[in-house]
Amino acid sequence: MIAILFRLSAALRCGLALPAVVLSLGLAACDPQPPLTVNTLQQPSQNTQTLRMAEYRVAPGDRVRVVVLSDPELSGEYEIDSAGMISPRMAGRVSVVGMTPTEIEELLRTRYRTDGLLRVARLSVDLVARRPFYILGEVSRPGSFPYVSGINVAQAIAIAGGFTRRAAKARVTIQRFNQTQGMEETVTEDSPVGPGDIIRVPERWF
């Protein structure tokens, strides 16, 4: 509102007729939302929607740190493999896909006690790195990129070097990690990007 009043005042000082000024402002207000652009990517909106990670469930590509306080030699970092497994020391292969770090803690605590390795298994599990996100199609550097907490679509495309000249900037879509192939949604610059998400930038038709 302040910006509109400022423009109105400036226009009147320049001698423009009031009807022309009102029409000009009205047309500006009716302009449609522009597609994602390189300039937009350089200065993404501050209203970035942050994905809620409180109940984050691990999947292949994530990396966790297991700290065994009652026996530090059993501590280590492990990347979840394509089968959803990790191999903590002396615990064998353990399936953890779809579990939260807290649930993994309880699973390993039970495993160490049941196998007789530790009478009192005091340990913690922390998420060290989330699985990457992917950008395909008409960007300068398509591929996979390390996930950054709170990143949005505009920032992700900027990381990939921005759009190519052939990019259909208004038809960018995203496939969420937990969605099946073909279940894609159209995005805006503020749309959040999650670990494992796939962003697709199609080629324009003409």
CATH number at residue 179: 3.10.560.10
* Distance separating the N- and C-terminal Cα atoms of the chain: 38
Residue 26 domain flag: no
Percent of the chain with pLDDT over 90: 56
- One domain, residues 108 and 155: no
Task: Spell out a b/e string for 107-143, using b for 16 or more CB atoms within 10 Å of the CB, else e.
Answer: bbbebbeeeebbeebebbbebeebbebbbebbbeebe
Q: Is the pLDDT of residue 73 over 80?
A: yes
- Dist CA 73 CA 97 (whole Å): 24
The number of distinct structural domains making up the chain is: 2
Instruction: Supply the range of the domain harboring residue 72.
Output: 63-129
Residue 158 domain flag: yes
- One domain, residues 143 and 193: yes
Give the domain-ending residue among 107, 129, 151: 129
pLDDT at 179: 66
Chain segment 85-107, per-residue pLDDT in tens: 999 999 999 999 999 999 999 99
Give me the mean pLDDT over the 112-120 stretch. Answer: 82
Is the full-model pTM beyond 0.75? no
- One domain, residues 68 and 101: yes
